[in-house]
Structure 1
């Protein structure tokens, strides 16, 4: 697998560029670029809003598989992403609290805090990426956090701690209301100052919907009785599962390793991650399996074994339930229907 640095990718992109059109100050966006190269064809829109939020709208048809090394800055930035279509996988081994490989898929929205890391972003030929990305400075979030217990549990550590733990959350599905706002941001009738005001309002509305969904998916999270030491142990348990997908500990073994009760472990996973311990482990395994199948280096049976499934029929059943396609269809290059 050839991994390109940003400089290598930019050089090859420029060399293969067949057309490019750049417009400034269009519909509230500072820059709108339409381009076609060997890698992709599409449009990217960028805006720096008065709130300090950086906004990017992506609409691309991918022509070639691409594996690109990306370096995150060490700035305290919270990132939100909303996928209307497409599939994006990431490899980032050795990052505490983060799965060594994960994916972002259509119909889902994500929230993450990943400063000062290196990761390999993977894009796949034949895919159509359509998404909205927002980067929010933590200082801006803190302006609203006058009462800490009123914001989602997942974000409280960002407000309280100078060096909060990195995380990557799948918040939930892109609702019809979210999708409408994303489409309104990408295509609206306004210009000049009014367009800037419109984008600002819509971005804040979308962020509010996402944070509300984050809280509602976990209704007790903003009033949690978990102690800080137990929250740390829940994250420690999560890290153990991430690093032992093939042969994970049982729940009783996990509680012994991190030093908390069975009840606290189960309640902590529900509060912090919005799912059960088994549900979290299953999602990790299936996402890892999907990435391995996309790489086409292992058979379906080998992939199933590598993520801890010994019964091939059961693996195929849960994989299709999760992604809407069979492992064999994924290996053949078919994109997920979910």
Structure 2
């Protein structure tokens, strides 16, 4: 498991949480009541515990949770499922207002005085948001430009998140070509998962979603950080891991369920990804 913090300024921080382990991982971060919290769940599921665990908010893949409470501190206590990714943006109300003062009417908690306010929302991550979020999760530029890059991407994310007018709602406007392409690539991901035992060829997949193969390859890599079939392999093996943990299937049955014709090929792929054989993984998880 890994937590990475990028401090853009005293009033803006970005946290990236990755759980590449075999079990749920717990992360904690102190956050005072001056900060708005935005939690983007990009992979698997995330569980946020508040008030010493008496209150829990659950986020599923492709959801964003926004919290704002001026009356009390809300430290982050995150339980992240195996394979999970979460990007958390912490920004003060003053900083947000300074960036978007001319567009304050778009931001719900800018209405009236905010000194004694509480605000909470949970929404789907819209297509245009997926790209800058995944770019931050996979940041690979020189450290010297990290702060500048993160500041620009944070402002892009905030602008896209609060861009909620009906005319600009990307889910309702199929005439915006780039965002329509993003939805098509998401459809390609869903088709791969639905047909993972006998997946279509890249050409067949591109035809199914009405995109050129080159656009599908480039877009899939940009959106999900991997090639289409690299993503599918990771998904199949992670799905296999969950089936094994259910203890309802043998190794051979799990191999067949995720599309492997022989157990030996499945065992080799599983060991390459997780570092242990399925049998050893089950033994370790039962301890």
Q: TM-score if structure 1 supplies the norm length? A: 0.42
Q: TM-score if structure 2 supplies the norm length? A: 0.48
